[in-house]
Structure 1
Amino acid sequence: MAADPQTQSTRIVLASRPEGVPSSENFGTEVVDLPEISDGQALLRTVYLSLDPYMRGRMSTAPSYAAHLELGDVIVGGTVGQVVASRHPDLAEGDYVLAGAGWQSHAVVDGAHVRRLDPSAAPLSTALGVLGMPGFTAYSGLLKIGRPQPGETVVVAAATGPVGSAVGQIARLKGARAVGIAGGPQKCQALLEEFGFDAAIDHRDPDFASKLADAVPDGIDVYFENVAGHVADAVLPLLNLYARIPVCGLVAQYNGADLDGRDRLPGFLSQILSKSLTIRGFIQSEFVPEMYEDFLTDATGWVQDGTLRYREDIVDGLENAPEAFAGMLQGKNFGKLLVRVTPER
């Protein structure tokens, strides 16, 4: 049964907690009545939904930087929505906004918690990718923690993803050399030809570790960590004295991978000490007050003049979000993964 767009919403909720890669059984679909709009609120129809790796952690009860979802909760996620009705003075019917409505077709939101978008400045979808949370993650983590200097070597894992591709391009804008790690020849070719990286290494190659070493003859000054696992194992011996490691994600571990059970901590601590490494985990939101406006100015200009390129992987239909999400955690997407819930108008 389809939802009435003025009074109801179709939403996807957490039905059970995943063990390993999420499956369809972990999600449920509901049609629910929307609450009445109060002063300061607006009713949105979701146009684009962002699918991001952090959502997997929210489905677990493991300790994290954000509260976990309860069973029956709507799956969290960034959205681009269009105002259907409004009781907020700064939002009019037809406006497009960046919100956090999650996996649902419609939502009533507090107008103070959304940001109006200008469709003439950049495609609306970019507000969830290169000009949104992933782009800001790359910008803030690289510039605040990585601090690349001209002539240095920056290596980034998951380099064709929305964060990794931006990291490499921003590193080159700062005069550094960018080396990307990705899975498969097609993605490595895109790093060189589409995103302008200086070198690209396939982590599925049996000789991955030696080819990475060949690609960084002067060692690695900044390693932007998105993956962990065997990629990090190959990077660690190549780090230079005083190298910096912004830790953004650990995708190889999100589905509960055992990573062969070895305790790598003693060797890792030895490297930190002997090479005077700087390692900092971060959540992009901590840098919003300090850097977000500069990011929007810089990145919007770079996108408009073609300096900062991006790729999107768009799936149509809210009902396809669970399958697309599971595929993303296995590296099946190519670019920023979005669900087009309803068409732009």
Structure 2
Amino acid sequence: MEEVESREWYLAAYAAEGVPTSDHLKLRTVTLSLSPDSIPEQHVILEILFISVEPYLRGRITGREDGLYSPQFNLDEVIAGFGVGRVIRSKDSNYVEGDIVVSAFTSFAEYCVVPSQFVARRIDPNNGIPLPEYISSIAVTGLSRSSNQRVPGFAAWVGIELLADPKPGSNVFISAAAGAVGMCAGQLAKLRGCRVIGSTGSDEKVRLIKEEFGYDDAFNYHTETNFDAALSKYFPNGIDVYLDNVGGEMLEAALNHVNKHAKVPLCGMISGYNKVWTEREGVRNLLNLIGKEVNMQGFMVGSYVHRFGEFATEMESHLKQGKIGYSKLKIFHGIETFLESLGSLFTSSNVGKVVIQVK
């Protein structure tokens, strides 16, 4: 076999606002040569098995640089993320055909050519950890300091372990708690001995994070529409840590309930991803940060890549010992489902980590 046909998603037009459609993202079929002469040195060809669908992708197809996970994809460029694949050709002696690997630069395609510097690690498929966990709980390495990828398990670990560093007994609030970051972050905070409350978008998700992921309590933000009142009820003693994945009204409400010296790691602000910045909800009570000497800090996981080895060792141990449960996965089947799977991130119907099973 000297060539293979591969379907791939590319950017046909920028989507300035709203959920992207087939006008913006299109699927095409290309022919990929497998001839050794056609593969650059220090590259591998991967057959994609699983690929992660992340909210940060939305910010890379707006056509504008406004603080949302830039740089932008170019028009006609193949959309890329991170995934798990099987090496089918290699021009790097560190990898052989048949290796299962995690790549930090995987096309949303059935096959792709990847520089081996972006192949993060080789996976033992028989070690008992499901392959999708390597793009969810355990995440990937190979990220640069300027990386814009939000790798869920690593993002949760950086936010809770490094930036918040909560003491036992701390009151921790996590928004988008049934999402890929939130599920992991809540469990990490519980391992620290914290009281953990989450907000999420349905009663089903409230039950999920309490029963399967150990949250002490949670509320549905569609029914608890007065966020300020809800937080008064769930945090009578105030908030010590707020891991923000939502922004907007929820962030504003949380800042009304923070305790002195609270930590507020800003992991994401999904409520504003489909809006131009002038239409996003403003936060009017930043004065609380001064009076209560609050530390609110945005972060990118690429800036903490030097801590990845520590994270991976710790997370693999937690998973094998059952201290942290495997992610709740929403699996879409087939590369053709990318547009649908991306859109699902911006609805309350989505639960957990969104993954495409390509093969």
- TM-score category (smaller protein): over 0.9
3-state SS of 1:323 partner: helix
Tell me the CA shift for residue 87 of structure 1: 2.2
3-state SS of 2:348 partner: coil
Is the 8 Å Cα contact of residues 272 and 280 (structure 2) preserved in structure 1?
Answer: no
3-state SS of 1:71 partner: coil
Q: Cα distance 1:336–1:7, how it changes in 2: closer, same or farther (>3 A)? A: same
Q: Cα distance 1:252–1:261, how it changes in 2: closer, same or farther (>3 A)? A: closer
- Is the deviation greater in 88-97 or in 252-261? 252-261
Specify which of 220, 224, 248 is matched with residue 267 of structure 2. 248
1:202 matched to which residue of 2?
220
- Is the deviation greater in 274-283 or in 117-126? 117-126
Tell me the CA shift for residue 276 of structure 1: 0.6
Q: Cα distance 1:49–1:261, how it changes in 2: closer, same or farther (>3 A)? A: closer
Tell me the distance in 1 between the aligned counterparts of 2:260 and 2:295.
Answer: 10
- Note the 1:204-283 alignment, pairs <5 A: 204-205=222-223, 206-256=225-275, 263-265=282-284, 267-268=285-286, 270-283=287-300
1:140 matched to which residue of 2?
158
Tell me the distance in 2 between the aligned counterparts of 1:108 and 1:146.
Answer: 38
CA deviations over 1:204-226 (Å, ceiling 9, x no partner): 11354323221112110010010
3-state SS of 1:221 partner: strand
2:148 matched to which residue of 1?
none
1:163 matched to which residue of 2?
181
Is the 8 Å Cα contact of residues 5 and 106 (structure 1) preserved in structure 2?
Answer: no
1:34 matched to which residue of 2?
32
3-state SS of 2:23 partner: helix
Specify which of 190, 206, 211 is matched with residue 193 of structure 1. 211
CA deviations over 1:320-339 (Å, ceiling 9, x no partner): 11011012122332110000
Q: Cα distance 1:305–1:255, how it changes in 2: closer, same or farther (>3 A)? A: same
> What is the percentage of aligned positions where both structures have the same residue?
31
Tell me the CA shift for residue 255 of structure 1: 0.1
Unaligned residue ranges in structure 2 (runs of 5+): 140-150
Tell me the CA shift for residue 161 of structure 1: 0.8
Tell me the distance in 2 between the aligned counterparts of 1:184 and 1:259.
Answer: 28
Is the 8 Å Cα contact of residues 5 and 45 (structure 1) preserved in structure 2?
Answer: no
3-state SS of 1:78 partner: strand
Is the 8 Å Cα contact of residues 43 and 109 (structure 1) preserved in structure 2?
Answer: yes
Tell me the CA shift for residue 90 of structure 1: 1.6
3-state SS of 1:66 partner: coil
CA deviations over 1:247-270 (Å, ceiling 9, x no partner): 0101000000678776535x31x1
Q: Cα distance 1:111–1:14, how it changes in 2: closer, same or farther (>3 A)? A: same
CA deviations over 1:74-103 (Å, ceiling 9, x no partner): 112111110112222121111111112121
Is the 8 Å Cα contact of residues 201 and 212 (structure 1) preserved in structure 2?
Answer: no
TM-score (norm 1): 0.93
- Is the deviation greater in 250-259 or in 270-279? 250-259
1:14 matched to which residue of 2?
11
What RMSD, in angstroms, separates the aligned Cα atoms of the two structures?
1.8
When you count helix as a share of all residues, which structure comes out higher?
1
Number of equivalenced pairs:
336
Tell me the CA shift for residue 39 of structure 1: 2.8
1:25 matched to which residue of 2?
23
Tell me the distance in 1 between the aligned counterparts of 2:163 and 2:78.
Answer: 33
2:146 matched to which residue of 1?
none
Unaligned residue ranges in structure 1 (runs of 5+): none
